[in-house]
Structure 1
Amino acid sequence: MAKRVLKIDALTLPDHHYLDAQDICYYAGEYTAGEGHAYSETNQLILNFKKSMDKRGTAQWQYKERAILQAAAIFRAAIKADAEITFVPIPPSKVKNDPLYDDRMLQLLQAVCKGRHTDIRELVVQRESSAAAHLSDTRPTPDELVANYQLDESLAEPAPQTIFVVDDVLTTGCHFKAVKQVLGRRFPEARIVGLFLARRAPKSVDLDFDSI
């Protein structure tokens, strides 16, 4: 994966249904859904990063821990050490008292910001656990997510000026839009940007021109 980030532009925007031209989102690699670890470096990173919490204590857990550090290194190389940013992880699908609660995004950001004077806040949390989007046949709408989100007022001050909403994969943009809506209501003056390890890219198809 590249040690820099790319911006969602006019060519890639249509791949992410809920995003519009006013949304600013960056990503480090392209993930192809439905393919395995061997398909690309990005697929390997994302699949290891997303390993479920029930793998803790098994031989597979080392790959998740390694992926967290690898992902952190990518963001750390791309973000200026003195940047005045408030990082807000998109909340995981499980609430904190759920046995399957996964704080991988928080761990990633802590590694990114280690030794730097950077602000990490879990400003948006879920009221109730839900099914992981990448494991569900149906995906929620931004409004449905907003209904299950709440802002942690104990972390609201001082008001952030630039917020990076961080997640692993940008798919439809649903979760980003929901978190952006919650944050935008509370901090209307803040600049809110999305930052993702990868965006879900359409799988390329090889055409047989002899059959066209």
Structure 2
Amino acid sequence: MTVRLSLIDDSNRGDHFHLTPADTCFYLFEYTSHRDYSFSQTNSLISNLKKKPSQSSNAGYYHKGRAIMSCAQTLAATLNPNWLNSATLVPTPGSKARDHPDYDDRIERICRLMRNPEPDVRNLVYQTQSTAASHEVAQGNRVTVQQLIEAYAIDEAAAQRTPTSIGIVDDVLTAGTHFRAMHSVLSARFPGVPIIGLFVARRVFPADDFDML
């Protein structure tokens, strides 16, 4: 089956309430919330991606590397090669700061493995303090856009060359909190530079969640 990037548009933007009509975001798959890894291939893929580095000695951790490679290959196959030649890919930082045992560079690895030679991948934004992972806490306790903006910082050493276009890369688009914060920080540092979002999957809810309403 041929996989293509899908655009977030008026039909589904409401599922990701921090996005606006001015945002351009693409995704590959749909990840079903409130279901475990066995529910679908995408749920399994995302579950493997999110295996914690502190669990690297556990059986099955090798699936994380396979998931990273799969995401890299699929994204590379769907992106316009001319755009990839000129764009700067910016990995969305994980929830843990660089000095935390569970600091996870999975998104950076996805970006760098998209092709050989590597595309222009730059950690332009880094997180100065650790936060709770959104998928591990209840809705009301999740980090906000403003909290992320305050926790994010620009790596000025990586920002010396102004990008011609930016692709913010992340694994799952949920509310759009991280994208909104990343977009705010990057657009303030690089005004006028086009920014898009690239996601492995967008979050959807199972049908029976709505049947209970």
Q: Secondary structure at the match of 1:82?
A: helix
Bigger shift: residues 35-44 or 146-155: 35-44
Which residue does the alignment assign to 2:89?
87
Q: Is the 8 A contact 2:132 2:143 kept in 1?
A: no
**Alignment map for 1:21-100 (pairs within 5 Å):** 21-83=21-83, 84-100=86-102
How far has the Cα of 1:54 moved from its partner?
Answer: 2.2
TM-score (norm 2): 0.92
- Picking from 170, 174, 178, the partner of 2:177 is 174
**Alignment map for 1:128-147 (pairs within 5 Å):** 128-137=129-138, 138-147=141-150
Identity percentage of aligned residues: 39
Which consecutive residues of structure 1, in runs of 5 or more, have no partner in the other structure?
Answer: none
- Partner Cα distance (2:125, 2:46) in 1: 23
Which residue does the alignment assign to 1:107?
109
Residue deviations 1:24-66 (CA, integer Å, cap 9, x gap): 1000000011212221111111111111112202212111111
How many residue pairs are counted as aligned between the two chains? 207
Where does structure 1 differ by over 2 angstroms across 4 or more consecutive aligned residues?
80-83, 113-116, 205-208
How far has the Cα of 1:127 moved from its partner?
Answer: 1.0
- Partner Cα distance (2:45, 2:131) in 1: 24
Q: Which amino acid aligns with 2:47?
A: L
User: Kindly tell me: are residues 58 and 8 of structure 1, through their superposed partners in 2, closer, same or farther at Cα, counting changes over 3 Å?
Assistant: same
How far has the Cα of 1:131 moved from its partner?
Answer: 1.1
Give the RMSD, CA atoms, in angstroms. 1.7
Which consecutive residues of structure 2, in runs of 5 or more, have no partner in the other structure?
Answer: none
- Picking from 182, 200, 203, the partner of 2:203 is 200
Determine if the alignment matches structure 1 residue 162 to structure 2 residue 165: yes
- Partner Cα distance (1:27, 1:150) in 2: 26
Residue deviations 1:75-123 (CA, integer Å, cap 9, x gap): 010113332110001111111111111110111111013225x210000
- Partner Cα distance (2:210, 2:128) in 1: 47
Q: Which amino acid aligns with 2:158?
A: L
